[in-house]
């Protein structure tokens, strides 16, 4: 069965950057954009040009710096916004304007003090106006997560009629459950005339920790694009994280989906975004957290040393990490200790290992983690004890001069 392609729309530089304390300058944005292109994303949302001269300049510079990736600029359903977005995209080889309006009761009634009919008119006008600048126009129905499906279908049908090429269904407040969000996408797929002419997109926020699950539900129900950010950064609790959704697709062949992402660049991409934005990645973050491929309990370490797959379903090399790490703590066993000594060039036979292990435990009880330096100190201490007790150290020579058999 042929696999379906999922387009990856990266909004790290727009929704991701809308975070308190996260400010990127143009040089950093261009650097990230170039790396995103290298990573293989299909669309880079470069910014919201009307929002500030800096954002405008960044969008323009990104357009000049990437060539094979769609560059997208955000706007509200306001002529001036659209015009500025269109001008900022002037140098893009593949420009896209992302325009839209709130469609939920909350937005129509309280934000716009308007009516559903007038919102449809504004949506149509925005798409028509954006088409004057670019061919590729993406329409977003803000707060689609809390918008009634029938009204959403109506607005989608109208914007398709006027030339929208992509329709984005944001769960702006992270409100939906995966089942609901998946149903919404399926409903649109089955009830909107012309829906097969356009790309249907997910855009999920993580207020309940469901952004990735909702995006997955979306693509399992027919969406063809996922909007996401590196490290899941974004408004409030963030957006769907690119690395999670991409690896879910890669790990699950039976979904019959694929992306163009070179997953081996995920780890370095994550580091670059974290460094430039100053937003630290939590240690237990899936895929890119410091602990994502680290093992510290004795039982897991023993399993991993025997066969990596016992406690890892993802190969760290697939995301650009050389290998899993075995962290030495008071919960580590002899297998882990012996493994780490082997990496340092020492092969410990059983008796030596027992002795070294007893000293190691004393150190480990006082520290969170034992470093290579400390392992050397422990070994020296064990050697001294041997000598003190007048025992002969089990010191063999091997052909391999790098290995020290003790
Ligand atoms: O979350 C959202 O609704 C958005 C739109 C502006 C696309 O970011
Ligand atoms: Zn958003």
**pLDDT tens, position by position, 161-209:** 999 999 999 999 999 999 999 999 999 999 999 999 999 999 999 999 9
Clarify whether residues 259 and 327 are in a common domain: no
Ligand 1 pocket residue status of 203, Cβ below 6 Å: yes
Question: What pLDDT is recorded for position 359?
Answer: 96
Same domain, 175 and 80: yes
Q: Could you tell me if 4 and 189 are in contact, meaning their C-beta atoms sit under 8 angstroms apart?
A: no
The SS3 assignment for 80 reads: helix
Nearest ligand 1 atom to alpha carbon 168: 7
- Cβ pair 279, 19 in contact under 8 A: yes
- Report the number of distinct structural domains present in the chain: 2
Q: DSSP labels for 165-224? A: SEEEEEETTS---HHHHHHHHHHHHHHSTTGGGSEEEEEEB-TTS-HHHHHHHHHHTT--
107 DSSP assignment? I
Higher pLDDT, 129 or 388: 129
Q: Are residues 155 and 269 in the same domain?
A: yes
CATH number at residue 135: 3.20.20.70
Separation of CA 345 and ligand 1 centre (Å):
54
Distance of CA 35 to the CA centre of its chain: 14
Q: Kindly state whether residue 283 falls inside one of the protein's structural domains.
A: no
Q: Are residues 38 and 152 in the same domain?
A: yes
Q: Do 326 and 235 fall into the same domain?
A: no
Q: Is 140 near ligand 1, meaning CB less than 6 Å away?
A: yes
CA dihedral 206, 212, 217, 222 (to 10 degrees): 110
With contact defined as beta carbons under 8 Å apart, do 335 and 307 qualify? Answer: no
Shared domain check, 93 and 32: yes
Mean pLDDT of 265-285: 97
Query: Percentage of residues in the chain with pLDDT exceeding 70?
Result: 94
Residue 246, CA distances (Å) to 17, 304, 383 in order: 21, 24, 50
pLDDT(402) > 60: no
Q: Residue 370: phi, psi to the nearest 5?
A: -100, 130
Which residue has a Cα nearest atom 2 of ligand 1? 172
244 CB near ligand 1 (under 6 Å): no
173 CA → ligand 2 middle, Å: 8
Crossing angle for the helix pair 26-39 and 53-65, nearest 10 degrees?
40
Model confidence band, residue 383 (pLDDT cutoffs 50, 70, 90): confident
Please indicate whether residue 239, judged by its CB atom, sits closer than 6 Å to ligand 1. no
Rounded to whole angstroms, the Cα distance separating 375 from 391 reads 21
Instruction: State if residue 227 touches ligand 1 by the CB under 6 angstroms criterion.
Output: no
Q: Is the CB of 15 under 6 A from ligand 1?
A: yes
pLDDT at 388 over 60: no
pLDDT at 252 over 80: yes
Residue where a domain stops, chosen among 219, 246, 277: 277
Q: In the predicted model, what is the mean pLDDT of residues 311-339? A: 96
Which of the four pLDDT bands, split at 50, 70 and 90, describes residue 397? very low
Residue 144 falls within a domain, yes or no?
A: yes
Six-digit token string for 339: 């493994």
179/269 same-domain check = yes
- What three-state secondary structure class fits 103? coil
For the Cβ of 56 lying below 6 angstroms from any atom of ligand 1, the answer is no
Buried b (16+ CB within 10 A) or exposed e, 380-405: ebbbeebeeeeeeeeeeeeeeeeebe
Mean of the per-residue pLDDT values for the chain?
A: 94
Reported as a pLDDT band with limits 50, 70 and 90, residue 392 is very low
**Cα(245)–Cα(257) distance, integer angstroms:** 11
Kind plus residue range of the DSSP H or E element containing 278: none
Indicate if 103 and 212 belong to the same structural domain. Answer: yes
> Is there an atom of ligand 1 within 6 Å of 45 CB?
no
- pLDDT of 390 strictly over 50: no
* CB contact at 8 A, 15 and 239: yes
Instruction: State mean pLDDT over 220-240.
Output: 97
Q: How much distance in Å is there from the Cα of 13 to the middle of ligand 1? A: 13
CA atoms within 13 A on the CB side of 147: 31
* Residues 261 and 323 both lie in one domain: no
Q: How far is the CA of 14 from the centre of ligand 2 (A)?
A: 9
pLDDT on residue 109: 97
Same domain, 133 and 32: yes
* The token pair that represents 275 in the structure block: 């460094």
The pLDDT confidence band at residue 24, using thresholds 50, 70 and 90, is: very high
Query: 219, 245, 277 — which closes off a domain?
Result: 277
* pLDDT confidence band for 313 (50 / 70 / 90): very high
Same domain, 253 and 381: no
Q: Is the dihedral of CA 128, 133, 139, 141 positive or negative?
A: negative
Residues 22 and 127 in one domain: yes
Question: Which residues, 6 or more positions from 259, have their beta carbon under 8 angstroms from its beta carbon?
Answer: 5, 6, 7, 8, 40, 246, 249, 250
205 Cα nearest atom in ligand 1: 1
289: in domain: no
pLDDT of residue 386: 61
Confirm or reject: Cβ of 170 under 6 Å from ligand 1.
yes
Residue 282 falls within a domain, yes or no? no
Residue 284 forms part of a structural domain = no
User: Range of 324's domain?
Assistant: 296-405
Rounded CA gap, 251 and 314, in Å? 7
CB-ligand 1 contact for 142 (6 Å cutoff):
yes
Q: Return the best residue to mutate from 176, 203, 234, 235 for the ligand 1 pocket (most ligand atoms within 8 A of CB).
A: 203
């Amino acid at each position: 069965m042929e696999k379906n392609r999922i387009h990856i729309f990266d909004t790290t530089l727009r929704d991701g950057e809308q975070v308190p304390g996260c400010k990127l300058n143009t040089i950093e944005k261009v650097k990230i954009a170039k790396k995103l292109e290298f990573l293989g994303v299909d669309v880079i949302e470069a910014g919201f040009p009307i929002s500030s001269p800096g954002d405008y300049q960044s969008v323009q510079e990104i357009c000049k710096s990437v060539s094979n990736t769609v560059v997208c600029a955000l706007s509200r359903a306001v002529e001036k916004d659209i015009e500025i977005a269109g001008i900022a995209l002037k140098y893009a080889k593949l420009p896209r304007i992302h325009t839209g309006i709130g469609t939920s009761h909350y937005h129509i009634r309280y934000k716009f003090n308007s009516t559903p009919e007038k919102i449809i008119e504004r949506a149509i006008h925005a798409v028509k106006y954006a088409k004057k600048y670019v061919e590729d126009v993406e329409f977003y129905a803000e707060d689609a997560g809390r918008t009634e499906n029938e009204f959403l279908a109506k607005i989608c049908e109208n914007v398709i009629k006027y030339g929208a090429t992509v329709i984005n269904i944001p769960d702006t407040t992270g409100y939906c459950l995966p089942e609901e969000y998946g149903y919404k996408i399926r409903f649109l797929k089955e009830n909107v005339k012309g829906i097969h002419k356009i790309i249907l997109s997910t855009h999920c926020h993580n207020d309940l920790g469901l952004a990735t699950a909702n995006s997955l539900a979306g693509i399992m129900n027919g969406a063809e694009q996922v909007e996401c950010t590196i490290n899941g950064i974004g408004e409030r609790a963030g957006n769907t994280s690119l690395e999670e959704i991409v690896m879910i697709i890669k790990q699950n062949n039976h979904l019959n989906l694929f992306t163009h992402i070179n997953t081996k660049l995920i780890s370095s991409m994550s580091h670059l975004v974290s460094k430039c934005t100053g937003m630290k990645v939590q240690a237990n973050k899936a895929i890119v957290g410091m602990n994502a491929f680290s093992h510290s309990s004795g039982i897991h370490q023993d399993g991993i040393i025997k066969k990596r797959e016992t406690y890892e379903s993802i190969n760290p090399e697939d995301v650009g990490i050389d290998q899993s790490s075995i962290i030495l703590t008071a919960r580590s066993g002899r297998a882990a200790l012996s493994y780490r000594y082997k990496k340092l060039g020492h092969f410990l036979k059983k008796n030596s290992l027992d002795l070294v292990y007893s000293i190691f435990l004393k150190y480990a009880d006082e520290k969170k983690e034992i470093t290579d330096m400390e392992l050397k100190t422990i070994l020296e201490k064990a050697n001294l004890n041997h000598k003190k007790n007048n025992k002969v150290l089990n010191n063999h020579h091997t052909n391999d001069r790098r290995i020290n058999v003790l």
